[in-house]
Amino acid sequence: MQAEIITIGDEILIGQIIDTNSAFIGKALNSIGVSVYQITSIQDEKDHLIKAFKEAEENADIIIVTGGLGPTKDDITKHTLAEYFNDTLVQNDLVLAHVEQLFEKYITTPISDLNRKQALVPSKSKVLMNKYGTAPGIWMEKGDKVFISLPGVPYEMKALVEDEVLPKLVRKYKRPYILHKTILTYGLGESAIAQRIEHIEDQLPKHIKLAYLPSLGRVRLRLSGKGNDEDVLNKDIQTQVENILPLIKDIFVGFEDNNNSIEQIIANQLVKTNQTLAIAESCTGGKLTQTFTQHSGASAYFKGGLVTYATQSKVDILGVDQAIIEKHSVVSEAVAKAMAINVREKLNADIGISTTGNAGPTKGDSDAEVGTVFIGFATKEGAKAFQFNMGNHRERVINKTVNKVLELLQKEIFEN
Amino acid sequence: MQAEIITIGDEILIGQIIDTNSAFIGKALNSIGVSVYQITSIQDEKDHLIKAFKEAEENADIIIVTGGLGPTKDDITKHTLAEYFNDTLVQNDLVLAHVEQLFEKYITTPISDLNRKQALVPSKSKVLMNKYGTAPGIWMEKGDKVFISLPGVPYEMKALVEDEVLPKLVRKYKRPYILHKTILTYGLGESAIAQRIEHIEDQLPKHIKLAYLPSLGRVRLRLSGKGNDEDVLNKDIQTQVENILPLIKDIFVGFEDNNNSIEQIIANQLVKTNQTLAIAESCTGGKLTQTFTQHSGASAYFKGGLVTYATQSKVDILGVDQAIIEKHSVVSEAVAKAMAINVREKLNADIGISTTGNAGPTKGDSDAEVGTVFIGFATKEGAKAFQFNMGNHRERVINKTVNKVLELLQKEIFEN
């Protein structure tokens, strides 16, 4: 059972927006046993759409199209889909009522004919009601194949996939199971890991694949399997995990899955052990705090994050001693420790974490080399700080530092 | 002059990672007058790669392939490219020396044969040296067309595009100019805007296109043009901008370009007017602070951000009066104002901003409905707060709130 995702919009091709829809749809389809054969991004141009529809129909059973459903003239997906199916657009009264209701309830400008045209759909289609927006999803079958057109606005698309598309696909098709298990490691390169587990990789059963995903100091090892019996597949993957784990014991930090990123693994452990966290950030500029607070439930363990970006704010807000800063510079082990200790105390948390460093490209308030980062940790047992060089690329320095904090924190809370 | 981007990796198709490389490459190619015809994401599978290469060669002059260049067995791009060109892999001594040097300088594990194999490249290729990693870029010509293979690691790919690919493409091909101008608006839907400027849209010259990009309370209007004379093209787009602006005066907030997101427009204005900013966040959890600090140069105007996530931290860190919280609840106009006033004073800034609200999905420390958000503003003239309902989707509440703050802040600092 294969799918192709077609995302439509000039804004993707000129790099004005990043296509996040495909990843969401890919993951969603995988969860019901559908593989994605290809993702194709094209512009709002009729001939190109028709060509993409044709090619997708040759290779895939399920074709999901996102974007190009807005009310303005640059949006042509609906018309092109109708043409591809030799169909015409007709008014759907349910959609019209829904559009009118949305305007009454949420939108301050009066409804127009352009908005009412959102209720036009191909006559051969089934409508998927879009509770968050005016553009309906469209479901069109051709023999055993199905074309599904969805709005490009991420939260509208997501709701339609979850509430309408997945349940309908599950009813329509018999599908195998696809399972992934991702092992998270820190501190060793992919080729060094590959050498350690070479003999296991060479003997993997045919229905299980291994992939290496290196990123900023981490390598994720993903085992993916496909099969008709979920229990057997689960067991087969588990067997390989148990073969691999003893060989990477020193670098293993946990498993990652759809609902369990590394920060969520840490969050769960903090809640379980009844510990709280407070963060004082400088060079990471709020990214570390946001890594935790982006997930709901953070208030169970997260006390707060103080982004003391300017040097003076480290004194004013965190109460770091001015003399320490003058003696050691603001990017130093001593300041990192003081920040961690003070934020822990000020926010009455069990664990205090700090970052101070030069993310670059210029040196800022310190003479430390660009890329120099100190990470501080404080608990009731005391404080320590670690020094790193994260390279000379601002975004990378920030992200590598966040990853490094997660690595250290994970080790800290699971080993103690 | 057209390009196709092919990104390779199972991790993209199963939704484990979001493909950000394509957007970067699309933008970079546009900047030298090359249009992207299609972006195609496929798995690490030889036959599929060959098929994609063939199709891309039919439609594009420039084919850029990212990913699949790692040292492990799941990476097959280099071998497949050699096969597609009827070529064999040979050792490149410069690359080998570079790989050995990287291991000596930065990598703690000893170099292995797997790592040395990174120096194998197709004999007919030119090598693009990858200063940040072991996988070289590969440049292979076929008649007038060129295939360029780049590593999938974003910062390695980015450096190769900027330092090697763009200069070489500029030397090799004569290209037209592509220009985009994006008008940023807040507060009106795309169809309402479309109606206002309908007569202008209908009379656009053929070489200029207009697109609407709605997102979380904003609509961006993008004018894109293509032509052989940069000055003429610039003038043609400017003419359309001047036609449109008077019709959307009330919702216009600025222009966005590659190097000028809305927060950077605000940042520049703050620096120009010698004003500083401090932020106290609750429901946005650090995202707002990070929006500013992600860009270098923030220390010129950004004093700090206090993420007072737990209710008690609003008292302990910001000094919000416990009685106000008890009387009005933590999600209230009074608390938003107090947070803004206090963060402004504590961090000695000209402008204090605050957010407090329920991002959901559960209600947290307040009885306010999920989606309720208050944004507070304080200057030396006094404080005010605004109430919004941002809907019931956590990520969307956070992002909409950040956008709304930027909108309010922009109006505030440009109008005063």
Task: Give this complex's ipTM.
Answer: 0.78
Predicted confidence band of residue B414 (pLDDT cuts 50, 70, 90) = confident
* B246, B310 Cβ separation under 8 angstroms: no
Nearest CA in chain B to A45: B37
Query: Which amino acid would we find at residue B87?
Result: D
Residue B32: pLDDT over 70? yes
Least confident of A171-175, A314-318, A390-394, B363-367: B363-367
pLDDT bucket at A37, cuts 50 / 70 / 90: very high
A326 and A185 share one domain: no
Considering only CA atoms, which of B310, B273, B218 is closest in space to residue B412? B273
Inter-chain contact B23–A41, Cβ cutoff 8 Å?
no
What's the pLDDT at A302?
95
C-alpha to C-alpha distance for A342 and B69, rounded to whole angstroms: 45
Reply yes or no on whether the pLDDT at A117 is more than 90: yes
Q: Is B328 helix (H, G, I), strand (E, B) or coil?
A: helix
Q: Are B276 and B352 in contact (CB under 8 A)?
A: no
**Does A214 share its domain with A353?**
no
Look at B313 and A307 and tell me if their CB atoms are within 8 Å. Answer: no
φ/ψ (deg, to 5) at B337: -65, -45
The predicted model gives A13-27 an average pLDDT of 94
pLDDT of the residue at B412: 84
A48 & A124 share domain: yes
| DSSP code string of A287-331 | HHHHHHHTSTTGGGTEEEEEE--SHHHHHHTT---HHHHHHH-SS
Q: Tell me the angle at which helices A394-415 and A262-272 cross, rounded to the nearest 10 degrees.
A: 30
Number of domains comprising chain B: 3
Show the tokens assigned to A146: 């199905």
Strand partners, B66: B7, B150
Tell me what pLDDT residue B259 has: 59
Per-residue CA distances from A377 to A252, A406, A408, A412 (Å)? 21, 12, 9, 9
- The DSSP element (H or E) to which B307 belongs, if any, is strand B302-307
Reported confidence tier of residue B129, pLDDT bands at 50, 70, 90: very high
Contact A290 B286 (CB under 8 A): yes
Interior/surface letters A201-224, b for 16+ CB within 10 angstroms, e for the rest? beeeeeebbbbbbbebbbbbbbbb
Q: Convert the pLDDT of each residue in B275-306 to its tens digit.
A: 999 999 999 999 999 999 999 889 899 999 99
HSE-up of A399 (CA within 13 Å, CB side)?
11
Both structure tokens of B23: 């957007």
Q: Helix or strand or coil: residue A110?
A: coil
Q: B293 near B302, Cβ under 8 Å?
A: yes
Q: What pLDDT shows up at residue A416?
A: 53
Facing residue for B73 by CB, picked from A20, A201, A395: A201
Give pLDDT, residue B213. 87
Closest residue in B to A300 (Cα–Cα) = B310
How close is the nearest chain B Cα to the Cα of A126, in Å?
25
Chain A residue nearest residue B283, CA to CA: A293
Q: Which of A204, A228, A256 is where one domain is finished? A: A256
Out of A12, A39, A71, closest to residue B194 by CB? A71
* B385 beta partners: B376
Residue B304: list chain A partners with CB under 8 A: 306-310, 313, 317
Query: Tell me: the pLDDT tens digits for A240-278?
Result: 999 999 999 988 888 886 566 889 889 998 999 999 999
Q: A360 vs A213, which has greater pLDDT?
A: A213
Which chain B positions have a beta carbon within 8 Å of A107's beta carbon? 189
pLDDT for res A361: 78
Q: What's the mean pLDDT in B217-237?
A: 92
Quick one: A102 and A147 in the same domain?
Answer: yes
Give the largest CA-CA distance in chain A.
Answer: 78
> Among A30-34, A96-100, B198-202, B395-399, which is the least confidently predicted range?
B395-399
Confidence of residue B71 (pLDDT cuts 50, 70, 90): confident
β pairing state of B89-91 and B120-122: antiparallel
Residue B166 and residue B21 share a domain = yes
Strand partners, B252: B185
CB-hemisphere CA count at 13 Å for B81? 31
Contact call for A23 and B26, based on CB within 8 A: no
Average pLDDT rounded to a whole number, residues A295-306 = 92
Largest CA distance in chain B: 78
User: What pLDDT was estimated at residue A334?
Assistant: 96
Of A36, A395, A398, the CB nearest to B13: A36
- Tell me which chain B residue has its CA closest to the CA of residue A361: B296
Exposed / middle / buried, residue B20 (Cβ in 10 Å: 0-12, 13-18, 19+): middle
Q: Is the pLDDT confidence value at A364 over 70?
A: no
Contact A191 B293 (CB under 8 A): no
Give the residue numbers spanning the domain of B272.
Answer: 262-415
**Residue corresponding to tokens 């302990």:** B316
Distance CA(A263)–CA(A403), nearest Å, equals 9
- Residue B394: pLDDT band with limits 50, 70, 90: confident
Chain A residues lying within 8 Å of B222, measured CB to CB: 10-11, 16
**What's the whole-number mean pLDDT along residues B368-390?**
93
For B315, the closest chain A residue by CA position comes to: A347
Identify residue A199 by its one-letter amino acid code.
H
**Structure tokens, A57:** 């129909």
Instruction: Tell me: pLDDT of B362 over 90.
Output: no
**Amino acid sitting at position B391:** G
Choosing from B114, B139, B172, the residue where a domain stops is B172
Number of other CB atoms surrounding residue B151 within 10 Å: 26
Residue A2 has pLDDT above 60, yes or no: yes
* Tokens coding A331: 């990017």
Give the C-alpha separation, A241 to B368, whole Å.
46
Q: Which CATH number fits the domain that encloses residue B234?
A: 3.30.70.2860
Cis peptide before A167 (omega within 30 of 0): no
The answer on pLDDT for A382 being more than 80 is: yes
Given a cut of 90, is residue A321 above it in pLDDT?
yes
* Integer CA distances (angstroms), B136 to A98, B66, B89, B94, B117, in order: 54, 12, 13, 10, 11
Output the pLDDT for position A159.
93
CB atoms within 10 A of CB B351: 22
Strands B372-379 and B382-389: antiparallel
Q: Tell me the nearest-neighbour CA distance from A110 into chain B, angstroms.
A: 8
What average pLDDT does this structure show over A361-373?
79
| A127 and A39 inside one domain | yes
Contact B310 A292 (CB under 8 A): no
Residues A272, A249, single domain; the answer is no
Q: Which residue of B has its CA nearest to A7?
A: B39
Would you call B403 helix, strand, or coil by DSSP?
Answer: helix
**C-alpha to C-alpha distance for B332 and B311, rounded to whole angstroms:** 12
Q: Which residue of B has its CA nearest to A257?
A: B16
Flag whether pLDDT at B106 surpasses 80.
no
* Cβ neighbourhood burial of B367 (10 Å; 0-12, 13-18, 19+): exposed
Q: Which of the listed residues B198, B223, B256 is the one where a domain comes to its end?
A: B256
Tens of pLDDT, residue by residue over A146-188, are: 999 999 999 899 999 999 999 999 999 999 999 989 998 888 8
Residue of chain B whose alpha carbon sits nearest to that of A283: B293
Q: Are B107 and A189 inside 8 Å of each other by CB? A: yes
- Mean pLDDT computed over B51-74: 93
Q: A110: cis peptide before it, omega within 30°?
A: no
Answer yes or no: do B306 and B327 share one domain: yes
Place of tokens 């427009």: B265
Nearest to B172 by CA among B64, B87, B62, B27: B62
Q: Which residue has the tokens 């996939």?
A: A161
Query: Rounded distance, CA A261 to CA A272, Å?
Result: 17
* Torsion sign, CA atoms B286, B288, B289, B290: positive
- Given a cut of 80, is residue B416 above it in pLDDT? no
Q: Which DSSP string do the residues of B272-307 spell out, in sequence order?
A: HTT--EEEEESTTTTHHHHHHHTSTTGGGTEEEEEE
Average pLDDT, chain B: 92
Identify from B7, B10, B183, B339 which residue to disrupt to test chain A contact, counting A C-beta atoms within 10 A and taking the largest count: B10
Residues B277, B275: Cα–Cα separation, whole Å: 7
pLDDT of A106 reads 73
Whether residues B146 and B218 share a domain: the answer is no
The partner residue sitting opposite B42, judged by closest CB among A38, A194, A212, is A38
List the one residue out of A159, A157, A390, A181 whose CA is nearest residue A287. A390
Distance from CA of A403 to the nearest CA of B (A): 16
Question: pLDDT at position A365, please?
Answer: 67
DSSP letters spanning A49-107: HHHHHHHHHHH-SEEEEES--SSSTT--HHHHHHHHTT--EEE-HHHHHHHHHHHHHH-
CB contact under 8 A, B310 and A287: no
Given an 8 Å threshold on Cβ–Cβ distance, is B71 in contact with A36? no
Residue with more model confidence, B168 or B396:
B168
CB within 8 Å: A317 and B308: no
| B282, B356 contact by CB (below 8 A) | yes
CB neighbours of residue A108 within 10 Å: 9
Mean residue pLDDT of chain A comes to 92
Mind telling me how many Å the CA of A21 is from chain B's nearest CA?
Answer: 9
Rounded-to-integer distance, Cα A82 and Cα A85, Å:
5
Contact A285 B293 (CB under 8 A): yes
Percentage with pLDDT > 70 across chain A? 98
**pLDDT value of residue B387:** 95
Residue of B nearest to A134 (CA): B191
Summarised one tens digit per residue, pLDDT across range A80-90 is: 999 999 999 99
Handedness of CA B308, B310, B315, B316 (dihedral sign): negative
- The pLDDT > 90 percentage for chain B reads 72
Same domain, B232 and B280: no
CB distance B296–A14 less than 8 Å?
no
> CA of B349 to nearest chain A CA: how many angstroms apart?
11
B141 vs B409: CA distance, rounded Å: 51
Q: Do B12 and A22 touch (CB under 8 A)?
A: yes
Residue B258 is predicted with a pLDDT of 58
For residue A296, pLDDT over 90 is answered with no
Which residue among A24, A303, A316 places its CB closest to the CB of B309?
Answer: A303
* Separation CA B157–CA B263 (nearest Å): 26
Return the residue matching tokens 């106290």: B280
Same domain, B164 and B242: no
Residues B247 and B271 in one domain: no
Do the bridges between strand B145-150 and strand B137-142 make them parallel or antiparallel, or are there none, so unpaired?
antiparallel
Residue B214 confidence class, pLDDT cut points 50, 70, 90: confident
- For residue B167, pLDDT over 60 is answered with yes
Domain CATH for A299: 3.90.950.20
Region B213-231 average pLDDT: 88
